[in-house]
Structure 1
């Protein structure tokens, strides 16, 4: 019989804790994940639940905690629980960035930073912190100052717990990034961009991309807001829906971005990664203009092959790497 992996072992413990806390406190599975993560971090059950269940869970914490775990083991175990919780959620903005996409975005950030060992990364819609954690784990040899902001209280609690368990020194803020983003100017803004209407008209009207008809787009405002925060010459690596440039206000967004930044690339992800064609996404790379920044000779535009097609993917990665060399982001 195969031994369980640390990821499976931690997930089983986390799931048991979560389901019990969910039932005992009459909260959602997602809300209970943050509570269960705190118990794992503290090594004891901190919630007020029945004595019988508390004793059982504390015994389980003592007996079933994996002896040795990597940061990625922790992230992946929580990811499994989050996927389970989000299937039960009615909130459309509750979604997990696929692992392969998070790893690829980390690769792009690394290339754009061109060997720099220290830089600042910010995610203005950090959610549960899964994307940010995946990139930090991937670039663990770097000294990255990381910041994340999230308006959803449940998600930011999970992000906080996940950061603690992985020992990531991430500054997290429970706030609306469009209204306020309490972080130093980043070198890189990286985010799985939320899409929809923004409800605070008085705030939206302060933005160039804000609308006076009460129908401002949250994704437009986030791009503008973080462009203002971004250091001159800094980068954005954004996961966006493929139809971002097809809505009635797309021309305004494109005109704004053209004034403020250079589009470095648009990489369309394989449709097979998403449940429906309408849900397909791309990675949009931008560089904020500054006197010492040149527009790329040619933007990197590509449709990525399925990540399971190893030979085709290797060819594409070589093409992408060659582009970074050609444009001077990395040395030959």
Structure 2
């Protein structure tokens, strides 16, 4: 999909339009002008009949006034998009190809190729969040349907994007995406769990436990139910690591200090994660064992890498034992 369109419209959240990188004219953001523009961009072949559009947004006016309002909207579009950007005749109105890019179309493209981080970063909230046209019931019905369509897709992408960032060793960025998913649905347990993991791995155990408490309240209030055993167990592991029960020697992540992202170690982290998953990680077989040697020159981040996989194992109900060599252990000549 080409991203060279002169006009870019963000609809996955509060609407924002830029024209060649600058803020759009205020009249383009008038409620019905914005509603019509996005509706056309989401229509088959990006076009509709004039009669259909008049009935969609101006059914409360007589025909002459309604058609005049539509013509005024098209005048604004021509001024912003150029004469070639809007194609209109006595019957049809259509946006020209390449005249306008919606972020939801870009989102769909990234989602289709499983670029979960790229897709998630486009999501800032509900579809056309905050927009309402109460005197246009047909448009409101369409808007409700669109919000339902994008809500599930955006929630899924945010959760997957956050999981991908956790897997890459960047829990701080993962928290930002995960919190957006919780804003979309506070009662979504996958969203809560990835937020809890990301916060815990970033060093904010107290924040992770707050998410667990907020999820419990949301499930009780909205669905009259309680968190799943998987969620409860994750909260228990986070709580144990924070207060020092059962886990006698918590890693640095459990000491309340923020951890920097794991930079330029995605491949090594993936190898360690694969080894852990093979013997006992989430979804792993839990059979056998493996020995993995992490070696390198001093200062290359070996300790930080090991702490990362150690923290993940603890959150996944693993038990970790840590030892350190002392001078007395050195081989004597």
- Bigger share in strand: 1
TM range (shorter): 0.3 to 0.5
- Larger radius of gyration, structure 1 or 2? 2
Give the TM-score, by structure 1 length: 0.32
Give the TM-score, by structure 2 length: 0.32
